[in-house]
């Protein structure tokens, strides 16, 4: 029955309501033995701060039921019901399987919660949970400021003497008379998103960034840069991008929005400020931090630090040993701005990731003779429609909130399955592109091991390219591709191939990637903290979540927020709730 889309919305709602009613009785009156039969044997339970202050996925009916039954009474969800307002229950295909899906609403002692339930009917005719995701929405009594009752306006009367709103704002942002509860390092999408969330929770947070202006992390990148996914996926919390904007946002437009966003959300941001270092005081439970500002050195003692420095934090600018003989100009792709055909009429780009392709295309389209050097096969997909397949639920009839909840409602195991299934569709859609690239000598990774570009991103932060024109130039022969294995050696003016051919260049751009966030931990906080924290990003095999992301790390008071604009929008909420709970000393669990 569940293997075809033949259930009406009414029937779907009845199936969900019946399961929820039985689940409510089992979780409060029964035990694990009562809950376990309600899950598929390979079902998944994802907890986002509901059953405890963790973000964690439990796989298998036995483990899921034990976690639900063993949760403290205060944490157990109650009053669960179908949330018809977010979206109606429906029959939909997820990860290749037909399932009845609905949004949930409920509460526990901490506050309101939401979730997503997916049911499948098994051979015995029983509907069982394939996935159940429960997420905390708010902490009761500490709701977001914009949701609280506004004070009376006193008939609009005001005083014309003393400081005005801007004066109070400027004074507060200086932190002359207090310490911030939270110091956020980085004013990109991650820092701004979590800063806005904390602001709405009434948490005193300061954002610092070494750039001169908010948005410079995008503004100062290469001239032609445009986002590779569409506007409707990328909104920041509370203020969506205008509908009048282009589908693919140019980097300068995004940079300007970041600057506006920080002002509109009244975020305290210190630009031209470098985080020198910090140490954690285990007795006082505070960080002792040194900052370098335009006004001099400043010492602060926040309780929490959030590193919002990006998935790829530090460019690998160390010269490649093989380039030692080369006497021309060599730069990292992070330092590339725009083509200059008069100074550099020929160029070599080492690498075939996104940055390498964008740099090569910019050079070639501005008259530079370009050679790309490929070290390993690279996944390439057309930016439309193929690369947009993971975002298919966004931009339609569902709200961004609904799409975000459905996204959160997809445990990593299903995410992997969906990604693998999409590879076949992608290869068919891009058949001509792949054939053309192979004909031009470019080695294409089509995901034969089941690894999609999404999994490449969350495991190593790259290794793919969305074709916005560079692949066409390669196929047309306007950009030459040379395999690194065919290079005999680099020489003063280029490199020599094993065939004896000399390839010359006035400029070499090394697009050999970035160091991870753990490298930045060592640089800013020392190797002992880096060792204590461990891996940052990549999939944690125990939690089935991203390692040390959006959760407090093994180093007390240290957190990470990073990823795409959508990831930052979604998960900044849960990070901020955890910090608010700690500052409030919410005591429903021993971890807080």
Q: What's the mean pLDDT in 306-322?
A: 85
Cis peptide before 385 (omega within 30 of 0): yes
In a domain, 144, yes or no: no
Average pLDDT of the residues in 154-162: 74
> Which helix (H) or strand (E) is 467 found in, with range?
strand 464-467
CB 15 within 8 A of CB 104: no
Domain that holds residue 573: 166-313+516-584
For residues 431 and 498, membership in a common domain is answered with: yes
d(CA 530, CA 524): 9
Backbone angles phi, psi at 502, to 5 degrees: -105, 125
For residue 275, what is the enclosing H or E element? strand 274-281
Task: Work out the pLDDT band at 257, boundaries 50, 70, 90.
Answer: very high
Q: Is residue 159 part of a domain?
A: no
- pTM here is 0.93
User: Are 374 and 434 in the same domain?
Assistant: yes
CA distance 510 to 367: 20
Residue 4 covered by a domain: no
* pLDDT value, residue 222: 86
pLDDT above 70 coverage of the chain, percent: 96
Residue 319 binned pLDDT confidence (cut-offs 50, 70, 90): confident
Residue 22, domain CATH: 3.10.450.50
User: What b/e string do you get for 232-256 counting C-beta neighbours within 10 Å, with b at 16 or more?
Assistant: bbbbbbbeebeeeeeeebebbbbbb
Residues 561 and 438 in one domain: no
- CA 253 vs. chain centroid, Å, equals 20
**Per-residue pLDDT band at 145 (split at 50, 70, 90):** confident
- Contact (CB, 8 A) for 57 and 551: no
> Is residue 196 included in any domain, yes or no?
yes
Residue 56 falls inside a structural domain: yes
Provide the 8-state DSSP code for 320: P
Residue 162 pLDDT grade (very low, low, confident, very high; cuts 50, 70, 90): confident
Q: Facing residues of 405 across strands?
A: none
DSSP, collapsed to helix, strand or coil, labels residue 140 as coil
Joined together, the tokens standing for residue 380 give 């390439």
Last residue of a domain, one of 484, 514, 544: 514
Both 522 and 560 in one domain: the answer is yes
Strand boundaries in 200-358, DSSP class E = 205-208, 268-270, 274-281, 286-293, 296-300, 304-307, 314-315, 329-332, 346-350
Asked whether the beta carbons of 481 and 474 are under 8 A apart, the reply is: yes
Beta strands 296-300 and 502-504 are unpaired
Per this entry, what is the length of the chain?
592
Domain at 470, CATH number: 3.50.50.60
Cα–Cα distance, 551 to 457 (Å, whole number):
19
Q: Is 80 exceeded by the pLDDT of residue 188?
A: yes
pLDDT value of residue 155: 67
Of 460, 490, 514, which residue constitutes the final position of a domain?
514
State whether 430 and 336 are in the same domain. Answer: yes
The two three-digit tokens of residue 259, written as one number: 């600057």
Can you spell out the DSSP letters for 391-412?
GTTTTSSS-HHHHHHHHHTS-H
Choice between 315 and 525, residue whose per-residue pLDDT is larger: 525
- Hey, which bits of 125-202 come out as E strands? 127-136, 182-185
Average pLDDT estimate for 66-79: 94
Q: Which two tokens stand for residue 284?
A: 């006082």
The pLDDT of 504-518, averaged and rounded, is 89
Q: Among the ranges 183-187, 354-358, 388-392, which has the highest mean pLDDT value?
A: 183-187
Does residue 501 share a domain with residue 422?
yes
Q: Answer for the pair 77, 134: CB distance below 8 angstroms, yes or no.
A: yes
Which pLDDT band holds residue 591 (cuts at 50, 70, 90)? very low
Query: Rounded to the nearest 5 degrees, what angle is found at the Cα of 135, between the Cα atoms of 258 and 549?
Result: 55
Whether residues 477 and 334 share a domain: the answer is yes
Mean pLDDT computed over 164-190: 94
The last residue of one of the domains, among 460, 485, 514, is 514
Is residue 398 included in any domain, yes or no?
Answer: yes
What would the pLDDT profile of 324-374 be if each residue is shown by its tens digit? Answer: 999 999 999 989 999 999 999 999 999 999 999 999 999 999 999 999 999
Q: Is 127 helix (H, G, I), strand (E, B) or coil?
A: strand
Residue at 591 is within a domain: no
- Does residue 309 belong to any structural domain of this protein? yes
Residues 205 and 181 sit within 8 Å (Cβ to Cβ)? yes
d(CA 442, CA 144): 51
Are 441 and 377 a contacting pair, CB within 8 Å? no
In angstroms, the CA 198 to CA 77 distance is 25
The pLDDT of residue 587 is: 41
Same domain as 331, residue 301: no
Q: How far is CA 354 from the centre of its chain?
A: 17
Please give the structure tokens belonging to residue 503.
Answer: 């390839």
Domain count, the chain: 3
Residues 305 and 324 in one domain: no
Contacting residues for 568 by C-beta, under 8 A, at least 6 apart: 189, 190, 193, 194, 236, 561, 562
Return the pLDDT at 592. Answer: 38
Asked if residue 387 and residue 272 are part of one domain, the reply reads no
Is 50 exceeded by the pLDDT of residue 2? no
Residues 373 and 259 in one domain: no
Whether residues 51 and 121 fall in one domain: yes
Report how far residue 361's alpha carbon sits from residue 364's, in angstroms, rounded to the nearest whole number. 5
Beta bridge partners of 289: 278, 300
């Amino acid at each position: 029955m569940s293997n075809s889309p033949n259930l009406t919305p009414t029937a779907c709602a009845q199936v969900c309501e019946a399961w929820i009613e039985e689940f409510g009785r089992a979780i409060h009156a029964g035990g694990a033995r009562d809950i376990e039969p309600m899950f598929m044997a390979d079902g998944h339970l994802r907890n986002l701060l509901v059953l405890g202050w963790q973000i964690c996925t439990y796989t298998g009916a036995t483990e899921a039921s034990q976690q639900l039954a063993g949760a403290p009474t205060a944490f157990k969800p109650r009053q669960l019901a179908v949330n018809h307002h977010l979206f109606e229950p429906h029959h939909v295909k997820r990860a290749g399987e037909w399932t009845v899906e609905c949004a949930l609403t409920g509460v526990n002692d901490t506050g309101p919660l939401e979730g997503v339930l997916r049911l499948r009917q098994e051979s015995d005719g029983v509907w069982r949970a394939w996935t159940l995701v429960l997420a905390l929405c708010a902490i009761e009594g500490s709701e977001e400021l914009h949701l609280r009752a506004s004070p009376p306006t006193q008939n609009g009367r005001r005083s014309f003497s003393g400081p005005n709103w801007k004066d109070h704002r400027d004074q507060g942002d200086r932190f002359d008379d207090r310490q911030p509860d939270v110091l956020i390092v980085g004013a990109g999408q991650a820092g701004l998103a979590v800063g806005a969330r904390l602001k709405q929770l009434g948490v005193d947070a300061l954002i610092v960034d070494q750039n001169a202006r908010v948005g410079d992390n995008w503004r100062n990148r290469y001239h032609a840069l445009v986002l590779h996914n569409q506007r409707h996926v990328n909104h920041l919390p509370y203020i969506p991008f205008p509908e009048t904007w282009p589908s693919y946002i140019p980097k300068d437009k995004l940079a300007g929005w970041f600057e506006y966003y920080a002002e509109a959300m009244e975020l305290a941001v210190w630009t031209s400020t470098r985080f020198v270092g910090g140490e954690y005081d285990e007795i006082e439970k505070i960080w002792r931090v040194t900052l370098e500002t335009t006004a001099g050195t400043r010492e602060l003692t926040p309780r929490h630090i959030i590193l919002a420095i990006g998935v790829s934090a530090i460019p690998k600018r160390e010269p490649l040993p093989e380039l030692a003989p080369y006497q021309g100009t060599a730069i990292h792709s992070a330092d590339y701005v725009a083509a200059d055909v008069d100074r550099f009429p020929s160029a070599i780009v080492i690498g075939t990731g996104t940055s390498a392709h964008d740099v090569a295309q910019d050079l070639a389209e501005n008259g530079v003779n370009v050679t790309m050097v490929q070290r390993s096969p690279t996944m390439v997909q057309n930016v439309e429609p193929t690369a947009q397949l993971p975002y298919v639920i966004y931009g339609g009839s569902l709200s961004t909130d609904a799409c975000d909840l459905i996204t959160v409602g997809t445990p990593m195991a299903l995410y992997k399955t969906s990604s693998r299934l999409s590879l076949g569709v992608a290869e068919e859609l891009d058949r001509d592109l792949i054939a053309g690239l192979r004909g031009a000598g470019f080695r294409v990774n089509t995901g034969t091991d089941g690894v999609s570009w999404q999994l490449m991103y969350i495991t190593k932060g790259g290794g793919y390219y969305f074709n916005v024109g560079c692949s066409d130039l390669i196929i047309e022969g306007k950009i030459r591709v040379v395999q690194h294995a065919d290079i005999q050696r680099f020489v003063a003016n280029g490199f020599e191939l094993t065939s004896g051919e000399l390839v010359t260049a006035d400029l070499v751009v090394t697009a050999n990637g970035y160091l991870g966030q753990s490298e930045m931990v060592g640089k800013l906080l020392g190797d002992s903290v880096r060792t204590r924290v461990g891996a940052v990003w990549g999939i944690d095999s125990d939690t089935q979540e991203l390692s040390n992301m959006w959760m407090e790390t093994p180093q007390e008071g240290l957190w990470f927020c990073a990823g795409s604009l959508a990831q930052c929008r979604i998960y900044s909420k849960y990070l901020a709730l955890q910090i608010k709970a700690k500052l409030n000393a919410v005591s429903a669990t021993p971890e807080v």
